[in-house]
Amino acid sequence: MNIVVIGTGYVGLVTAACLAECGHQVNCIDIDKEKLKKLKRGDIPFYEKGLKNIVLKAVKNKTLSFSKNYNQSLNQVEAIFLCVGTPPKVNGKPNLSYLKNSLTSIAENLENDVAIFVKSTVPVGTNKFAKEFIQKKIKKDLKISFASNPEFLKEGNAVSDFKKPDRIIIGTDDPLVKKVSKEIYKNIATSKKLIFTSIESAEIIKYASNAFLATKIAFINEISRLSDHFNADIKEIKKGMSMDERIGEHFLNSGLGFGGSCFPKDLDGLANRFREFGIPSSIPNAVRLSNNQQINYFSKKITGNLIGKTSCVMVWGLAFKGGTDDVRESPSIKLIKKISNKYKEIYAYDPLAIFNAKKELVGFSNIKFIKDKYEFIKKCDCLIIATEHSEFKSVDFKKIGKMKNKLIFDGRNILNKQQAEKHGFIYHGIGV
Ligand code: UDX
């Protein structure tokens, strides 16, 4: 099929590349000319496992192209995916200006009937608004079918999540969309994974899924505080809980809490929607508050056990989660900002995210970014692990044993406490 994807961020580029790889002709549109130039030569502006090779191969096979030009790109298009950003405004409501601008450009340049799939995360009711918005803008007698098709892509795993989805949600009231959807996704998911709902249900499924996952994390983190207090073991607690298949084991890893561009934004978006319509709700706001408390809780562990402005600290992990270079709403960055004025120097290491972290930590002059996680270890009085990058699982205890204090604060419970203590370290996890 002839597909256009609007927006080349995490969601748009992964969607476009994977659809091109499974046989569609895909053209990406973006307003950022610099970004388009980089993409045409295979420069991906963010780290996503496996994406670069897919993009390079599809560009070479001419099944994937990039342009800023709507009228050329929309020629004979059969399906359009809207993957533009909906970043939160100051009041927490999603900014829909990029969505409106894209719809206006589509209306001005479209020459044939088309199905529009909104992949951007938008508050429930927005697709209905968008459908009416574009109908008013379209000057020609064209049939525009509409669907809400939310994404469920985890950063660092987005390509695999797209190719092997748990489910594909298509919210629509238009039979044509069902036919087009089956054609688009025929090489990606069997029909039993293609779930058709109303538009509003699809919009809510997205917010509800993210908010529920965030709630799971906040819940186990509160339990980890109780576990700390009573000297229990949160890993045992997780095991005992997760054997109940209604609870399951995923998203029950306690640590510094959740960050990223989605969970915080979607919780706020959901809370706003409830508030806007006077619908009683307390969970989304409570989860946000609980998540912030976890960073305070862990920072007190550090400052309560390492005192002195002459002390130096080693921090491993700056990204909001392991396997990504993204630092948006990173709990690690928030923790560093909270403790940085308590210590003389902070040595900060991350395998992927240093470039992005430097932008977030401008002005924090006592932070030294290092390329080797064992460099300067001798100068440090403790090691803090703040992101669950897999390389931190195999720590060289001999090398970190050269610290002035054999003191570890493990914000992701990534190390084994008994093993660390066997090597002579004082080990503080969260709930272990
Ligand atoms: C999330 C959703 O998982 C995805 O479906 C949606 O489309 C986008 O938002 P993402 O934010 O990329 O994906 O990462 P995710 O793997 O969900 O982790 C989110 C945060 O939760 C990270 O900060 C991670 O460190 C934290 N987390 C995750 C925990 O603290 N404990 C866990 O058990 C799992």
Per-residue pLDDT tens, the chain, 432 aa: give them. Answer: 999 999 999 999 999 999 999 999 999 999 999 999 999 888 998 888 899 999 999 999 999 999 999 988 898 999 999 999 888 888 777 889 999 999 999 999 999 999 999 999 989 999 999 999 999 999 889 999 999 999 999 998 999 999 999 999 999 989 999 999 999 999 998 888 999 999 999 999 999 999 999 999 999 999 999 999 999 999 999 999 999 999 999 999 999 999 999 999 999 999 999 999 999 999 999 999 999 999 999 999 999 999 889 999 999 999 999 999 999 999 999 999 999 999 999 999 999 999 999 999 999 999 999 999 999 999 999 999 999 999 999 999 999 999 999 999 999 999 999 999 999 999 999 999
- By C-alpha distance, which of 324, 322, 331, 340 is closest to 430? 331
Structure pTM? Answer: 0.95
pLDDT at 205: 97
Q: Which atom of ligand 1 is nearest to the CA of 121?
A: 7
Nearest ligand 1 atom to the CA of 330 is: 23
Nearest one of 20, 83, 84, 80 to 53, comparing CA atoms: 20
Read off φ and ψ for residue 275, nearest 5 degrees. Answer: -65, -45
Protein residue with least CA distance to atom 32, ligand 1: 251
| Ligand 1 pocket member 150 (CB < 6 A) | no
214 lines ligand 1 (CB under 6 A): no
User: Does the C-beta of 120 come closer than 6 Å to ligand 1?
Assistant: no
Both structure tokens of 316: 């491993």
* Ligand 1 close to Cβ of residue 30 (< 6 A): no
Closest residue CA from atom 9 of ligand 1: 262
| Atom of ligand 1 at shortest range from CA of 150 | 7
Tell whether ligand 1 has an atom less than 6 A from the beta carbon of residue 152. yes
Query: Which residues are catalytic, by number?
Result: 262
* Calpha distance 416→419 (Å, rounded): 5
CA of 254 to the centre of ligand 1 (A): 12
Q: Give the strand order in the sheet containing 25-29.
A: 64-67, 25-29, 2-6, 79-82, 114-118, 144-148, 168-171, 194-197
Q: Whose CA is nearest to atom 2 of ligand 1?
A: 154
Pairing, β 79-82 against β 114-118? parallel
Q: Is 154 in the pocket of ligand 1 (CB under 6 A)?
A: yes
Position 94 scores a pLDDT of: 83
Upper half-sphere CA count for residue 24 (Cβ side, 13 Å)? 28
Question: Distance from the CA of 309 to the center of ligand 1, in angstroms?
Answer: 34
Residue 153 in contact with ligand 1 by CB distance below 6 A: yes
CA-proximal residue: ligand 1, atom 5 (nearest): 152
Which atom number of ligand 1 is nearest to the Cα of residue 324? 12
